[in-house]
Amino acid sequence: MDLEQARTNMVEQQIRPWEVLDQEILDLLYVVPREEFVLPQYRSLAFSDLELPIGEGQRMWFPKIEARVMQALGVRKTDRVLEVGTGSGYLTALLAHRAAHVYSIEINPALAMFGRHNLQRQGVDNVTLETGDAAHGWPKYAPYDLIVLTGSTPVLPHQLIEQLAPGGRLFAVVGELPVMTARLCTSIAPGACTSIDLFETMLPPLVNCEQRSRFHF
């Protein structure tokens, strides 16, 4: 299989048509080898328009969503990033190539080991990986310039907004089936933010994510 041709096909046929036109983001997809972050049996499918299994019932995002989110985040070289859910480590690596430092927290020990192994093999050294539950934030290293949730949440926890630095951004997929929205929030004051909806999508929920209050009469 010609991996480089497959990578180019992914960029030109999946990602660019999905309104990802930032050349720096497109270039980044050639720098970070996606095929090195998938399970070995899926290596030939690394550039397909699929959510590839990574074990423990979890899947990688579609490539076009990874690229679209990276474009929306506008990661800066000075940014300190909190990633909630390491998974395969691929999005972690994309963030790390653009940011000052990434703090990535994974609740599943087996996935934490998988992501750590992948990142170490690629020499990504500006990442702090820890195992734990960050669905409601990770105050240990706060405040963050950027927070990224890799699973969905019915409601955005206020604790996450409180852990943003002034002007910080937060990406999350908010809602429940059948309607979920990719949302980018920007801190405008301590504990307060504005938000814009980017696109509709579906992601499995984060473990222990914030739930809506339900009233029973």
Q: What is the pLDDT of residues 50-78, one digit of tens each?
A: 999 999 999 999 999 999 999 999 999 99
pLDDT tens track for 83-107? 999 999 999 999 999 999 999 999 9
User: What is the domain partition of the chain in residue ranges?
Assistant: 3-200
d(CA 43, CA 34): 9
Distance CA 62, CA 38 (A): 12
In the chain, % of residues over pLDDT 90: 95
Give the pLDDT mean for 7-34.
97
Q: How confident is the model at residue 216 (pLDDT cuts 50, 70, 90)?
A: very low
Q: pLDDT confidence of 214, banded at 50, 70, 90?
A: low
Confidence of residue 29 (pLDDT cuts 50, 70, 90): very high
Q: Which amino acid is at 99?
A: A
Are the beta carbons of 95 and 81 closer than 8 angstroms?
yes
Interval 175-199 mean pLDDT? 95
> Does residue 193 have a pLDDT over 90?
yes
133: CB partners within 8 A, 6+ apart: 105, 107, 207, 208
Which of residues 149 and 1 earns the better pLDDT score?
149
Averaged pLDDT, 10-24: 97
Q: Residue range 26-42: average pLDDT?
A: 98
The gap from C-alpha 118 to its chain's centroid, in whole angstroms, comes to 16
Amino acid identity, position 85: G
CATH 3.40.640.10 fits 3-200, yes or no: no
Tokens 């019932």 sit on residue = 57
- Phi/psi of residue 102, each to 5°? -120, 130
Intra-chain end-to-end CA distance of the chain, in Å? 60
Structure tokens at 17: 């048509």
Q: Report which of 161, 134, 156, 136 is spatially closest to residue 146, judged by C-alpha positions.
A: 161
- The pLDDT score that the predictor gives to residue 1 is 72
**119 vs 1: which has the higher pLDDT:** 119
Where are the extended beta strands (E) located within the chain?
53-55, 58-59, 80-84, 101-106, 127-131, 144-153, 164-176, 179-189, 192-200
With cut-offs at 50, 70 and 90, classify the pLDDT of residue 34.
very high
Q: How far is CA 180 from the centre of its chain?
A: 16
